[in-house]
Amino acid sequence: MSMVNITIDGKAVQVPEGTTVLEAAKMGGINIPTLCYLKDVNEIGACRMCLVEIKGARALQAACVYPVAEGNEILTSSQKVRDARRADLELLLSNHKKECLTCVRNQNCELQTLCEELNIDEVPYEGEMCDLPIDGSSPSIVRDPQKCILCRRCVGACANLQEIRVIDAINRGFNTAVGCAFDTPLGNAACINCGQCIVNCPVGALHEQDAIKDVWAAINDPDKIVLVQTAPAVRAAIGEEFGMKMGTPATKQMVGSLLRLGFDKVFDTDTGADLTIMEEGNELLERIQNGGVLPMITSCSPGWIKYCEHYYPDLLPHLSSCKSPHEMFGALLKSYYAQKQGIDAQKIVTVSVMPCTAKKYECQRPEMGVNGLQDVDYVLTTRELARMIKEARIDFLTQEGEFEVPFGPASGAAVIFGATGGVMEAALRTVADILTGKDLEDIEYHAVRGVEGVKEASLDLGLDKPVKIAVAHGIANAQVVLDKIRSGEMSDYAFIEIMACPGGCVNGGGQPIVSAQIKNWTDIRVERAKALYEEDRNLPIRKSHKNPIMDMLYDEFFEKPGSHKSHLYLHTEYTPRGKY
């Protein structure tokens, strides 16, 4: 690779040819501010916050898109540069709804941070304010156009990460806004509710539908028994909201805080994940042995499910009929647990704390209920739980708690559900034991780990031929796999895992928001996944079928995987939907 020599702020730097000024500065230890830029997602040089001065150039250049050349002399913080950035920022503020103190992104807003860094003490311009209404039509996502700064990071996430493109810049000039075609409300568009637009927005123009008030009301109702469950990816990220290093498990602090908030019982969704493996593994074996539709595709990710319903309805027979783990567990709490504890199920309120905004939509689906009771009543994101903890003035870092018995710590296989490849690995640990008739010790399937977009493997599981599997995360990667299934190219595959969000649930739309200044140079998918793999390694039980709670549930209630009762409570169906 050819190298070029440049100087940045007087510092000599050698970088590969084609490197942008922004990347070159980072390599030289120099930080240039950005706002619209997201590496590999939104590289359009629109906001002009990264302007730099290049000797010999006729104008300031956007560092995020300008490639360096041999001998470039670059200034990243000259008076000319600072004045230009300041003017750009003041113009952005001129028509921005400035209600920072009550904004959901207060103190975690990239626009606010830049104002502090550039010493903005007044807004000298008064622009024509956007008068578009807030769009709250989606069950998962709220859009506030008056806070939008037209950076298009949400557009980049929807188009480039997910290749869905339900939002884009519409209209022209001063009337430009981000929205759906023909001004269609988001709730009526073919949005999959994944929330990647939210976690990539630098300001408060996008946020989740808030369930905090409803959950507080349930906790404060003396006639209600409020049961809460938490997904594995939540413990891998919630600590970030309280200053813990990314990738640090915060299970005990999280459970202790939930108990302090007033929830009657705190459960681990991992029990539902183990139950999912029992049912999904049985379904896979039945399909393999009895000529069922293959490849079978996982059904844990509600964003992926909705995507398939909209865009690939012909492939719905390939989906596992299993509900997602938290829906299974919600059904379990309102049936088996209620009976065992002698509780009227009508009095139970189930709350799921999830890394996912799509689960807010999922819990409202009519298919996700039994006997007139919804499996899950409310979904809180990781961010919402953090806000509740802060509101209650709980010292998160000093809390300790344990999940409720008998549904205490589940298997390590369930824990890794939160990372891409985790569902596949968990299923393989059980299916391999069943097919080989052995208690295998080599249970870490590294072929399905990591953040490569599509991972494929061929495994010897004791059948007459190797079992082909694949894993895809992020809808753009899922499309590659789905098109191959459609064409027949993957007809000899047995099992495929798909997660809607890049990296899986650890990078879900409901997780703590990380600024672009960190996200551009740190792979948060990898860092958060480390917490899950660490917990898996430290647990005494690492296979779902080895969890004794599974024996209890089937002996006392569900009879066996795939039984009529299991299908009533733990399985569901899907609905073909139009693109609009």
Amino acid at residue number 322: C
Split at pLDDT 50, 70, 90, the class of 580 is low
Six-digit token string for 276: 């999912």
Pair 198, 366: CB distance under 8 Å: no
R_g of the chain computed on alpha carbons: 25
Q: Is 90 exceeded by the pLDDT of residue 448?
A: yes
Mean pLDDT of 192-211: 98
Q: What pLDDT, on a 0 to 100 scale, did the predictor assign at position 142?
A: 98
DSSP-derived secondary structure for 130-198:
--PPPB--SSSEEE-GGG-----HHHHIIIIIS-----EEES-GGG-EEE-GGG--GGGTT-----HHH
Mean pLDDT of 275-298: 95
Instruction: Find all residues with CB under 8 Å of 303, minimum gap 6, and list them.
Output: 192, 193, 194, 195, 356, 358, 475, 500, 501, 509
Six-digit token string for 554: 């089937």
State pLDDT tens for residues 464-487. 788 999 999 999 999 999 999 999
DSSP letter, residue 31: P
Q: Is 90 exceeded by the pLDDT of residue 266?
A: yes
CA distance 527 to 236: 9
For 452, left (φ over 0), alpha (ψ -120 to 50), or beta? beta
Split at pLDDT 50, 70, 90, the class of 16 is very high
Mean pLDDT of 510-532: 96
Instruction: Find all residues with CB under 8 Å of 113, minimum gap 6, and list them.
Output: 515
Q: Is 80 exceeded by the pLDDT of residue 259?
A: yes
Q: How high is the mean pLDDT of the chain?
A: 95
Count of beta carbons in the 10 Å neighbourhood of residue 88? 18
Give catalytic residue positions: 280, 283, 300, 320, 359, 362, 367, 505
Burial of 224 (0-12, 13-18, 19+ CB in 10 A): middle
Backbone angles phi, psi at 142, to 5 degrees: -115, 135
Count of beta carbons in the 10 Å neighbourhood of residue 292? 14
Mean pLDDT of 337-353: 97
Euclidean distance between the first and the last CA atom of the chain, given in angstroms as a whole number: 47
The residue assigned the tokens 């949005």 is 191
State pLDDT tens for residues 386-415. 999 999 999 999 999 999 988 878 999 999
Count of beta carbons in the 10 Å neighbourhood of residue 182? 8
Split at pLDDT 50, 70, 90, the class of 262 is very high
State pLDDT tens for residues 102-124. 999 999 999 999 999 999 998 89
State pLDDT tens for residues 146-197. 999 999 999 999 999 999 999 999 988 888 999 999 999 999 999 999 999 9
Instruction: Find all residues with CB under 8 Å of 563, minimum gap 6, and list them.
Output: none
Backbone angles phi, psi at 228, to 5 degrees: -120, 145
Please give the model's pTM, rounded to 2 decimal places: 0.96
Q: What pLDDT, on a 0 to 100 scale, did the predictor assign at position 175?
A: 87
DSSP letter, residue 60: -
CA distance 240 to 511: 10
Mean pLDDT of 502-507: 98
CA distance 93 to 207: 20
Bridge partners (DSSP) of residue 11 are 8
Mean pLDDT of 18-35: 96
Mean pLDDT of 121-148: 92
Q: Residue 281: helix, strand or coil by DSSP?
A: helix
350 membership: H or E segment, kind and range = strand 348-354
CA distance 280 to 427: 8
Q: With pLDDT > 70 as the criterion, what percentage of the chain qualifies?
A: 100
> Which stretch of 56-60, 264-268, 316-320 has the lowest confidence by average pLDDT?
56-60
Please, what are the domains in the chain?
A: 3-92 (3.10.20.740), 118-208 (3.30.70.20), 217-570 (3.40.50.1780)
